[in-house]
Amino acid sequence: MPHKEKIIADIQAQMSQEGFWEHQEQANKVMQELKTLKNIVEPFADCVKRVSDAKEFLELAADDEDLDKQLADEAAVLTTQIDALELQAHLSGPFDNANALLSINAGAGGTESCDWASMLLRMYTRHADLKGYKYETIDILHGDEAGIKSATLRIEGDRAYGFLKSEKGVHRLVRISPFDSNKRRHTSFASVEVIPEVEDDTEVDINPSELRIDVFRASGPGGQSVNTTDSAVRITHLPTGIVAQSQKERSQLQNKAQAMKVLRARLTALKVQEQEAVMNKEAGDKQKIEWGSQIRSYVLHPYLMVKDHRSGVETGNAQKVLDGELDPFIEGFLKTKPEDRDKRLKQKGNDDV
């Protein structure tokens, strides 16, 4: 903590220097770093002070019911603060403070899976609203009959990637199908990819000659919102086969810039994954979007339950989860050791909930 306090002091000294605000973009990055550091240091300092005060208070509280009650209330506040600090300790990765690029892809199951993908899209936008995050839909491909085949959201907020990285994986839905006239139970799958949004100066080499850039007309369910010009852009990185596209803007240049940002983020994530694979001596292959590979199951029939197979966190209030209340699952993921997550997945990954 003293190290972080020194960095804060150095930044504040830097801010007082002449010309600091002349380079607005760099100044904003420094201010964001200062905000992040203060969000760590200040709650910790306040917690330490509260503990010290509570110890002194404890000596005065003997045989005094009113003081005992005040002390109990203070202990409850301290417990909440300590839990928050513990959670914060799990967000120390190099990209945890970054914004998030969250992509949803429908899996096996046709219309059923497309509808499930659209339900997940709603769940994540609702979650963003609850957390006070800003979000925008960069790209979306609608299903042939209902729902979506894929979508990519840019989610901006304090440690957005650090929290939402818990959502990466295959999500499984069990329900009575609204598309089945016989009202049979169906199982649907969709995958969620979460990568950090990286700065343009991030060290990842992109050779323009290795890119294929296609333009096309933005797709949509119809209506006035559908573009009538070829403004959407798809960029393919030929050496890796990674694809990024954007169609939210009416300007082709703006869509190209946004697609390049997504491509840079995906290439950076791939680079990090490769480095981790070398260190761990095991490759992180993508899971198939099908039975047995799910990280979380959402059961709406014959009973209500949402269960995370990595942390063991579960709830019977499925609707609340689908309305965006994901904090218990995110916190459970962050507080569960990676080796314990893997062990749970191996033991229960193929089990029904």
Query: Residue 245: what are its φ and ψ, rounded to 5°?
Result: -145, 160
pLDDT of residue 18: 84
- Predicted confidence at residue 3, as pLDDT, reads 77
Q: List the chain pLDDT tens, one digit each, 353 residues.
A: 677 788 888 888 888 888 888 888 788 878 877 877 787 788 778 888 888 887 777 776 666 677 777 778 888 888 888 887 778 778 878 889 899 999 999 997 789 999 999 999 999 999 999 999 999 999 999 998 999 999 999 999 988 999 999 999 999 999 999 988 888 999 999 999 999 998 766 668 899 999 999 998 876 665 444 555 788 999 999 999 999 999 988 899 999 999 999 999 999 988 888 877 765 543 344 455 555 579 999 999 999 999 999 999 999 999 999 999 999 999 999 999 888 888 888 876 545 44
CA angle 45, 49, 54 (to 5 degrees): 150
Contact at 8 Å (CB) between 200 and 117? no
What is the per-residue pLDDT for 66?
75
CA atoms of 190 and 168, how far apart (whole Å): 11
Q: What is the pTM of this model?
A: 0.77
Tokens 């998030």 locate to 100
Q: Which residues are CB-neighbours of 348 under 8 A, at least 6 positions away?
A: 309
What gap in Å lies between CA 209 and CA 136, rounded to an integer? 30
Q: What pLDDT score does 146 carry?
A: 92
- Residue 118 neighbours by CB under 8 Å, 6+ apart: 143, 146, 147, 148
Nearest CA to 233 out of 215, 253, 220 is that of: 215
Q: Distances in Å between the alpha carbon of 86 and those of 39, 74, 80?
A: 13, 18, 10
